[in-house]
Each structure stands twice: as structure tokens, then as C-alpha cells.
Structure 1
């Protein structure tokens, strides 16, 4: 059943939504507390921004939903971003002139029986939403903190998986990556088993591990031994469900040598992934190489805005600022997600389903 939601205010913002279908009634916007634990069911999209806003929460069945949104205002200019779920970026700073109404579309994955949306940006202007269930392929993500849905209390820490929906015009994203996990611990905690219950024919499973496989603790794996064994288990799981596995080399850290070139901190783990993809005949996105080219082109100073380098008191939760060379600022997550999407479109077997470039993104957000 299609759900139509309309802003009942005369101007695009502030927002106050009502249903205009058979179940007509007001849908409240909900203020929610910041979450400092990585649990996507507890973080709400309105809390992923410098200026927090309430979230629109609509009870629905789990699945994929197509959302068409009318943005703009009769009298005011707008600059609107939309986030969903646990901070997934659906639209980023869409500009509208006074008197201009424009439509945008995206697909949201729901796994907690609530469709959660937030309208952010400098001047959000929203007229209406049309929401309906859709059967379409889903990109499932397995990985670590560089990929995961970071919790709202850690914003602007952002995993590239939170930014990947920004680039898609077909298909949904279901992010199951978790901070601190290795290829081994992810399986031991039952997370791959959970993914197996959700994967279906035509879906993708993107697999990126390596950062924590290097650890000298119970998470650690040897690159040409059990690391390969565990990665092969992800591949087999996807194949058994009719989904397409995609191995990924781990994204680089911001580790520059004195000569301005990146230090390869992953070493044999990168070579192990490439070799396994060739041995098993599965797709591989060499994110290590792609991120190396990006970071070296930007240089030591130019890469700081991509990572969690923040000034003291720039964000209230980080009064002393941050200097993190592993994890991404929202800006960096978007750029890495761009590389991941590029890698998807370079795979002949994936291009037909997910390869249509998001023209709106290219025009408005580059």
C-alpha cells in the first residue's frame, strides 16, 4: 500500500506531517537522545548533524521502500539533506530556489519495523513524501568501523556504508558492519549467520575486513592462512543464497611517509584478498588501491578533512578535538563511498543492476 505524507505547514519548514491516505492523521516528529553505543536500532537520523532535528518515524513492515520526496517552497530558498535509519545519507544539500519544487527518489532499507527519516541541511524545505514497498536487490555490507553505521553520539564519525545510498538510484543498502570486528570475530559472533538469513537471489554482499585482522589479540588472523579461510566462508554463504559476493581490499589509513607517499599498513592482507578473488573467480574491488590514489593526490594536509581531524569545540562531544587517521569524517565517508560505487560499476556482472550513475548527485554535490 502506498503512503502519502504531506507537510501541513504553509512554508516548507518547520515541518508538520499528516497522512493523506485511508489512515489520515498526524505523524509526529520525534526528538531522540544521542546514542554512544553502536546499535542501529537506537540511533535516529535526526541526530546525525551539527544541528540536531527531530525524526519522522513511521511504523512499517521490514523490507525495502521507495521514497519520492517533493522539495522546495513557494517563497523561500532551500538547502535540504535527508538521512534515514542510523544516519544513512539519502540526499545531500539539495538546493532549491524560491518558488521551485523539485522531486527526488531513493530507496530505504527497513529492518526495525520503522521507517525513520530526518530532514537536515542548512534550510530544509519539504512539501510531501510518497512511500511504497518495493522489491529490489539489496547491497549487504560486512565489515568493520570504516564501513559501519556509526552511532549518533559519535557524529561526525561516519562509515562509508552510511554514505553509499547517496550514490544509488537502484537497490537498497543494509549495513551489518560493526566496529572492531575482524573477518574472524564477525563470524564468531553470529553476524554472518544473521546475514545468511537475509540474503536473497540478486543481492550483493560486499566484504571488507583487514584492519582488525592485523590485531595481536583473539581477533587476529594470518593473511595467507585463516584470513583466507574466513573470507571464503563469506563468499560461500553468498553463493549458497544466490547472492553475488564482492571481496574488497581494506581501505587505507592516513599514514604518509616523509616523501608524501602512503605507507602500506595492510601489506599481505591486500595481496591475500586479490589472490583469493582470482582463485575463487569472484568480483574484487581494490579499495586499497583506489584510496591510495585518492589520498596521495590530496596529500597529507588535503586528506585531513576526510578523516576525523576536528578542532577543539568544533563538535560539542569532542571538546579537545580529534586527530584520527583511520576513521572517516562524513566528508571522507562520502568520498570513499564514491570509490566503492565506482568499483561496483566497473564490474560487468554488477553494472546492469547497480551501475546507473546518480546524475543528480554528480550535478549538485561534486
Structure 2
């Protein structure tokens, strides 16, 4: 008799216990679309590292980074290969999309990926407007610099037309923007020609089994360089008072690590 009564009461007791169980905090997804400087890498190319790979370590467990960036893609080929629609379909209100292209768009010697500045601009507008149509927040980023110094030891500007187009779209459509071209050049200049190699894929023969002949690459980052670029992004978003970066960091960043705001556009409304 007692056993049957306990069996009958068990479901109700379980419901009561569940009512007092802690509710998991909602997740915010941070989508990344872009090129090889941001993309995830395979083991065979290690220590090459896209800056999107360590980005999630800066945030707490309520932020999920979904890195859709791909090697060799421009805005045009990212769209042509149907890589953008799945992101749009997955977006939920309150999500974010970090948009950084330019390296391959400007490659006039590669007609399979080259995109004129005007078409590049139109493609950025498409990313922005379709992100907003899903009540998510777009964030534009100018392309990170390539490591090229002149004979006087000054870092060269390598993305002028495409960075300008990105900033213009951000201003016209009132999109939050991180000027990574400017921020990364400032970091390279601070480090200097020789020390800045420590952030890129500069390997002597025999340094790593994946590159037995060595490598001298002034575009792609190693682990240290990728983390430095991700930190520049997070610092600048926090400096621009984006709630995502102010309230959901894994741990507070030192105040002296916060870069001055670079945003040329007015702040969007944060969901």
C-alpha cells in the first residue's frame, strides 16, 4: 500500500524538485564570417592560427563562438558558395555577427576571388541588413594588416581602399566597427620590423614538422599572433561599451589593455 502511494506521488515530487532547479543562463552566439586570418585551422597547418580560434576564451560560458570564416574567401565567393544563408537562418534575436573580409577581395591577381571595392561595399551592406532582419547585431571589422615595413621601419598600409569602404558602410548604416587595420598596424609599429615576426608564420627550416623547409608568411598568424588580434577586437568592443564585451568577459581585462575607441559610426542599439 505504501509502495503504491509512493509510486503515485513520485512524479509530483519530481516536478516540485525541478521547479527549484537553477535555470541555465541563455546563450548568445557570436558568428564569425571572414577569411583565413580569422578562420579555424586544421592540424596539418599548425601552428597557423586564425584569430577567431582563441576568441571564445575571452568570454564566459554564456557566449558561444561559431566561426564560419574560410580560407581564401572574399565577400563575393563567401556568398557565391552559399556560406551566408545558413548563418542567416541560424541567427536568433540577440546574436552577433562579426564580419571581416578584404584580404581576398583586393587580390586583383586572383580573378576567382577578386571583388571590386564597390561590389565589396554592396556585399557588406547585404551582410548587415540581413543580420538586422533577424534582430541580431552586425559588427564590421576592417581587415587586419599584413606585415610589411618600409626601409625606414614604418609599417605600410596594405588595405586602404577596402578599409575605407568598410568604414564608409559602418558610418552610413550606423554599424559598430572595429578598425583592425589601424589597430593591428599600431601594434606592428610598436613591436617593430623584427619583433613583429613573432606574431606571424615565420619559421626556420626544421622549426616545425609541418613546415620542414620553413616558412616566411606576413599574412597569417601563429598562436601568439592570433591571440593578440583577438584581444585587440575584445578590447576595442569593450572600449566602445558593447554589452557583450563589458558584461560577459571570462575575467576582467586590465584597464591599460583597453584600446581607444576606433568606431567611426554611432552605436547601434544593443539587444
Please indicate the TM-score interval, normalised by the length of the shorter structure: 0.7 to 0.9
Check 1:243–1:211 CA distance in 2 against 1; reply closer, same or farther (3 A cut): same
Relative to its length, the structure with more helix (as a share) is: 2
TM-score (norm 2): 0.81
**Residues 120-139 of structure 1: matches in 2 within 5 Å?**
135-139=26-30
What is the CA deviation profile of residues 228-287 of structure 1, one whole-angstrom value per residue up to 9, with x for unaligned ones? 100101001110111100011000000111111111111111111111100001111100
Match of 1:237 in 2: 130
**Residues 246-285 of structure 1: matches in 2 within 5 Å?**
246-285=139-178
TM-score (norm 1): 0.60
Check 1:360–1:280 CA distance in 2 against 1; reply closer, same or farther (3 A cut): closer
Match of 2:246 in 1: 355
Shift of residue 361, structure 1, vs aligned partner? 7.2
Match of 1:143 in 2: 34
d(CA) in 1 for partners of 2:156, 2:49: 23
Query: Where does structure 2 lack aligned partners over 5 or more consecutive residues?
Result: 1-22, 255-271
What is the CA deviation profile of residues 294-338 of structure 1, one whole-angstrom value per residue up to 9, with x for unaligned ones? 000000111111000012222111111111000000110000000
Query: Where does structure 1 lack aligned partners over 5 or more consecutive residues?
Result: 1-131
In the alignment, is residue 297 of structure 1 matched against residue 204 of structure 2?
no
3-state DSSP of counterpart to 2:220: strand
Among 186, 195, 219, the alignment partner of 2:87 is 195
Match of 2:97 in 1: 205
Among 68, 74, 79, the alignment partner of 1:182 is 74
159-168 vs 133-142, which moves further? 133-142
Among 133, 136, 154, the alignment partner of 2:45 is 154
d(CA) in 2 for partners of 1:294, 1:204: 26
Would you say the 8 A contact 2:78–2:84 is kept in 1? yes
Q: CA RMSD in A?
A: 1.8
d(CA) in 1 for partners of 2:177, 2:81: 25
Larger Cα-atom Rg: 2
Higher relative contact order (CA 8 A, sep 6+): 2
Match of 1:219 in 2: 113
Would you say the 8 A contact 1:166–1:361 is kept in 2? no
